[in-house]
Amino acid sequence: MSQGRFITFEGGEGAGKSTQLRRLVARLKAGGREVVATREPGGSPGAEDIRALVLRGAADRWSPVTETLLMYAARRDHVERVIRPALARGAWVVCDRFADSTRAYQGAAGGTAPELIAALESHILEGTRPDLTLIFDLPVSVGLERAHVRAGAEMRFESKGQAFHERLREGFLAIARAEPGRCAVIDAAGSLDEVEARVWAAVDDRLAVHG
C-alpha cells in the first residue's frame, strides 16, 4: 500500500482557505482517492476541546507562549489519532492549518521564541510534515473585512488588531520564502473559481494529481 499525501492550507484570517479546501477535497475524491479533510486546532475529539479554549474569549486570554503549548497539545493528539493513521493506510490528508500557523501566529506575530516552536515541532511531530503547503495571501484589510462578515464565537484572533495581522502575513510569506520546495503561495484575491484554479494548478504541479 502506498503512503498517503499530506496537504496543508495556511494563511491569515478571511483568506478563503476553508472554502477552497472543500473544493479541493471534492476534486481529489472525484479522482477516486480516499481523502481525509481535517482542521487545526482540532481534528480529533481532544483537540477540538482545546480549540474551544484557544479560539474563544478575550484577545489577551492567553499569552503567546501558552497558546503555543496549547496548540501543540492539540496537534499531538490530532497527529496521533487522525493524521498518521490516515497517511499509513494510503489516504490523502488535507488539513486547514498545521504547524506553520503556530510559527506565524504565535511566533512571527505573537513573539514566541522560534527556538521553542522549533523544539516543540521536532519532538512532538517526529517528522510528520506536509508534502505540500498552500499559503493563501491577501491584503490584511481585505482579509479582516471578510472575516468580520462571517463573525461568530471563534473571533479571538481577528480581534488582535491590524499590526498583529500585518506581522502574521509577513510571517507566512517568510515561511514560503524559506521553504519553496514545500510551500506554494496562492493569490487569494479573485473569484472562487479563479482561486480554485490556482490551487489545483499548484497541487497538480507539485503532486501530479491530474484530472
Residues 77-112: tens digit of each pLDDT: 999 999 999 999 999 999 999 999 999 999 999 999
| Length of the chain measured in residues | 211
Could you tell me the residue range of the domain that residue 140 belongs to? 6-207
Task: Supply the CATH number for residue 83's domain.
Answer: 3.40.50.300
Helix (H) or strand (E) holding 13: none
Q: Which amino acid is at 180?
A: P
Confidence grade of residue 184 (pLDDT, cut at 50, 70, 90): very high
| DSSP at 160 | G
Asked, for residue 72, whether it belongs to a domain, the answer is yes
Exposure of 131 by Cβ count < 10 A (0-12 exposed, 13-18 middle, 19+ buried)?
Answer: middle
Asked, for residue 1, whether it belongs to a domain, the answer is no
Asked, for residue 125, whether it belongs to a domain, the answer is yes
Q: CA-based angle 11:190:159, to the nearest 5?
A: 40
Give percent of the chain above pLDDT 70: 90
- How many domains would you assign to the chain? 1
